[in-house]
Amino acid sequence: MDLTPLFLPKSMAVIGLSLSNDHHPANVIHSKNLLRYPLPCYGINPKGGTLNGEPIYTSIHELPQQVDLAVIAVRAEIVPQVLKDCISAGVKSSIIISGGFAEAGKIELQEELTSIAIAHDFPFIGPNCLGLYSPDVVDTFFLPAERMVQPRQGGVAVVSQSGGILVDLLVKFATEGVGISSAISIGNKALVREPQLLEFLAADERTRVIALYIEGFSQNEGRAFVRLARDCGKPVIVLKSGKTREGSRAVSSHTASLAGDYQVFSAVLRQHGIMEAANEHEMVSFCEALSCYPETRIEGRIGIVSSSGGHGALAVDACIGSGLKVPPLSDQLQTQLQLAISPSIQAIAALSNPIDLTGSAQESDFVEAVNQLAHSAEIDCILLLMLPYLPGIGSDLGARLSQVHRRTGKPLIAYVPHVDKYQMLIEGFELNRVPVASSIESAVKMTRALRRCRPC
């Protein structure tokens, strides 16, 4: 089953437009794609007519061309016939926004959709979903454009059973500067499910990291998912709900999924080297780090560079609490550092680990400290705690430090407060594919992501 028309459609139709309610989901989707995306977008309502100066077609068969993607937003009971019409008209894929299927107890109605699609090898996402958002390609989310916070284009693909969780993750990605290749809300996942999406995204050149919010699986599906995630060749990160008995009950009422035994599932993920995020914030940190360093694995020996002893101490505690090591640097390496930094701070800098360059440090001191650690075999990842309000540093320091990483290949992770005033410094890191955290805790989580557990 080819999912390309879903992810990279060249044309689309929206079925179920309202002629009287501009806030109808179909109207929102049609308007966004018509005005803001490059693909031709056609609106369909059995009454025909015009809407905002655009022709509305009475059926999918009336369109001036065959389309790759049909977005269906009609009453649940008429979705099967609409799906059949799409197939007969040569449509290549569909996203079913409509709710009122298995999640509402109408299991047979949902099974009818699946049977129709399987018989014609016709891929669809949903029902009961937001569908797909891909920067600069397509957006089937029925959320007004002016209220959406959309991440830039990047390498993370996000799959979620919950549309609300997905949108919330996108807000966090945008805030942290994490780019995405696509975001997929699968809802009841009546046909296209996590295993099929893993197979597609593993081969997708735009995707470097695959992140999934999972509520549950059908019988025996979890085993297939874990094997595909283990073997897909890209970092896979899972955020699971339904960890408690009460949470499992909430999952069942949301998308009619089986939450299963969480403890067993979590243990199997660890066994097969698949990362599990504890919450949304950890998911974002993991995604940012692994999208920059998708093939990097470290042992967990961290070298910390700061200009504040307090920041360094907090980072050490966070590293140790996350199972990482902060080894004291050898006398030889400390001597090299002592000779490399400015004479004005040689007597006051602490050079063991963490390295505290003090508030009197200049740009060159940070560059030299990072360069010495980057060439040392004593540590395998550098954690840089950047305080951009120091008088001795400028807005280009992020780019200068990133060049050290690019020359040596040693992973560098930075903490910089995320405020507009420091954006140029942050961009210096991000443009060179160095992850930048907005808190020390997030920076340590990014570091931990590179120390992924290995398959047994």
| CA–CA gap between residue 389 and residue 240 (Å, rounded) | 39
For residue 373, give the DSSP letter.
Answer: H
Q: Where are the domains of the chain?
A: 1-124, 149-295, 302-450
Per-residue model confidence (pLDDT) at position 260: 58
Question: Global pTM?
Answer: 0.91
Residue pLDDT, tens place only, 294-343: 999 999 999 999 999 999 999 999 999 999 999 999 999 999 999 999 99
d(Cα 293, Cα 296) in Å, to the nearest integer?
Answer: 5
pLDDT at residue 128 in the model? 96
What pLDDT score was predicted for residue 243? 77
45 within 8 A of 17, measured Cβ to Cβ: yes
Q: pLDDT band at 273, cuts 50/70/90?
A: confident
List the one residue out of 453, 413, 439 whose CA is nearest residue 318.
439
Predicted local distance difference test score (pLDDT) of residue 247: 46
Upper half-sphere CA count for residue 126 (Cβ side, 13 Å): 30
Query: Helix, strand, coil: what percent of the chain each, to 5?
Result: 40, 20, 40
Q: What is the mean pLDDT of residues 409-421?
A: 94
Rounded (10°) angle between helices 163-176 and 280-292 = 50
pLDDT in tens, 263-272: 888 888 988 8
pLDDT band at 52 (very low <50, low <70, confident <90, very high): confident
Rounded CA gap, 177 and 255, in Å? 30
Q: Do domains 149-295 and 302-450 have the same CATH topology?
A: yes
Give the confidence band of 261 by pLDDT, cuts at 50, 70, 90.
Answer: confident
pLDDT at 253 over 50: no
DSSP string across 49-75 = -EETTEEEESSGGGSSS--SEEEE-S-
What class, spelled out in words, does domain 302-450 have in CATH? alpha beta
Beta strands in 204-281 (DSSP E): 209-214, 236-240, 275-277
The CATH class for the domain spanning 149-295 reads alpha beta
Instruction: Indicate if the alpha-carbon torsion angle 420, 425, 427, 430 is positive or negative.
Output: negative
Tens-digit pLDDT profile for residues 117-130: 999 999 999 999 99
Residue 134 gets the label, from left (phi > 0), alpha (psi -120 to 50) or beta, of beta
pLDDT confidence of residue 453 = 53
CATH number among 3.40.50.720, 3.40.630.10, 3.40.50.300, 3.10.450.40, domain 1-124? 3.40.50.720
**Which of 227, 277, 313, 306 is CA-nearest to residue 445?**
277
